[in-house]
Amino acid sequence: MNLARSAETQTLVIGLAGGTGSGKTTVSEAVRRAAGPERVLILPQDAYYRAQSELPFAVRERTNYDEPSAFDTPLLIEQLDALLRGEAVARPVYDFARHDRAATTVHVTPRPVIVVEGILVLHDPALRERFTLRVFVDAPPDERFIRRLERDVRERGRSAQSVIEQYRRSVKPMHDLFVEPTKAHADLIIPEGGNNRVALEVLSAFVASFTERRSERATERRAGQREGAA
């Protein structure tokens, strides 16, 4: 846990990792509710898959999305640092139907709480050191597979057969090789994913406490400025 960095930037940065379909979105929503939606920015790692327009579609559709080299981590770090400096960024968008980065971007602005969410956000040391709190969301493999199947068919235009083939070819092996070991870097492990109400309450209390302290410090600074002006 890097509280010193949080105090320096006045931003709570949460690295939220875990296997595909583990319940990271549910945990992100718990953080959003605890701090207030207007105070939270969710920065999804899967928006930062590398552009690969130079490759034929037949090659792109066999992309291994579950290994560290699939991500443009330097860009993610660059944009996170900009947000921590108080600057807005043009966050990339990934087109999973085309297996390539989209031409459009999303304008995002700094918020008091930033959640960097994705399967491998705890893998890279340079990214990991920027987090105030590192969280790993755990869930049984069968539940994770079912959630991924439902999500990819519903949200990413995939066929069920292609999702099953990808899971056997790369998702399961890459989880064991790269994702599961990052659990060792977590400050907080949430077993049973979004179904673990106690763990969600602990995390929510931590986030709420941070935002309350931040608001109190801002009030004190404004009061000091008024006194100095008088």
Tokens, residue 142: 């069968």
Binding-site residue set: 18-25
Distance CA 110, CA 76 (A): 14
Find tokens 């105090």 and name the residue.
Answer: 7
Distance CA 76, CA 130 (A): 11
Distance CA 28, CA 188 (A): 14
Provide the sign of the torsion angle of the four alpha carbons 179, 181, 187, 192, taken in this order: positive
Tokens, residue 21: 């379909």
Largest Cα–Cα distance of the chain, in whole Å? 70
SS3 20: coil
Count of residues making up the chain? 230
Binding-site residue set for ATP: 18-25
Tokens, residue 153: 């068919």
Measured between alpha carbons, how far is residue 100 from residues 18, 57, 193 in Å?
23, 9, 29
Tokens, residue 28: 């992100």
Residue 131, φ and ψ in degrees, nearest 5: -90, 135
For 217, other C-beta atoms within 10 Å of its C-beta total 12
